[in-house]
Amino acid sequence: MNILDFSLLVWIGSFTAGFVGALTGLGGGVVIVPLLTSVFGVDIRYAVGASLVSVIATSLGAASTYLKKGFTNLRLGMFLEVATTIGAIVGAVIATFISVQALSFVLAIVLLYSAYLSQQPKLENPENESADFLGGYLKLNSTYPTPDGLISYQVHSVPIGFLVMLASGVISGLLGIGSGAFKVLAMDQFMRVPFKVSTTTSNFMIGVTAAASVGVYLARGYIDPGLSMAVILGVLPGAFLGARVLMGAKTQILRIIFSLVMVALAFKMLGSSLSGEFYHG
């Protein structure tokens, strides 16, 4: 395969990853890392480096649209980024000392769990009538637009959400996947934030988390400019398109397709990890 064919195929895969990542809030890295390692045979550390750069592009591509429409809870996102940034730096440092097989195995488990999370039923407009002291004290409560006008919501269980965000940051720095699934989980399941707000705020946050850990990979020499450029050029337009589609789209069918892809990639990564396929010395 020549460099032109390789770049074109990477672009197509990255465009799809950016689109689905922006649409679901899970981050495109869950597709990009296994795509580069399983399909193209890229060393997982370079794949993670390219993915971290692409996650920043995904976040930038989607965040502007979401902010303009009033979906993203900017104050909540910045507060929770304190936890994810700390976790991301820790995860990125740990990753440079872990074997490729171990990283591949962990990624496979995360993929399977992300597929499970994406199929959990979510309420579009949860009834959050009761007030939460800490959420109110930190002024995290907000509103978001619906066809019936603005709807207010309360943010709950702030300490639990903060701890889950800390863990998601470690996973992001370790695997370069943005860990959007865990961000959505923390806000949607524990903090009881409406799903579209969770998704859009997650997209805003994953870029900041990735930026915190990409410097470590750059310093270690795991950022390949050519590979990263091909990924970014695909991810960015995909993220813009996904952000626009999200506004009125029913995402259940895409969730099912995305889950099946993640499961298939997870088993491929697991098999490659156990066989030592990704080991390059």
Q: Is the pLDDT of residue 235 over 70?
A: yes
Rounded CA-CA distance 134/156 in Å is: 8
70-72-73 Cα angle (round to 5)? 110
For residue 99, which phi and psi values (nearest 5 degrees)? Answer: -65, 155
Q: What is the pLDDT of residue 125?
A: 54
Instruction: List pLDDT tens digits, range 114-139.
Output: 777 767 665 555 554 566 788 888 88
Domain borders along the chain are 3-275
Highest average pLDDT, of 9-13, 126-130, 210-214, comes from 9-13
Q: How confident is the model at residue 279 (pLDDT cuts 50, 70, 90)?
A: very low
Q: What is the pLDDT of residue 278?
A: 47
264-268-273 Cα angle (round to 5)? 145
Highest average pLDDT, of 29-33, 153-157, 180-184, comes from 153-157
Q: Which two tokens stand for residue 162?
A: 């903060």
Instruction: List pLDDT tens digits, range 46-56.
Output: 888 888 888 88
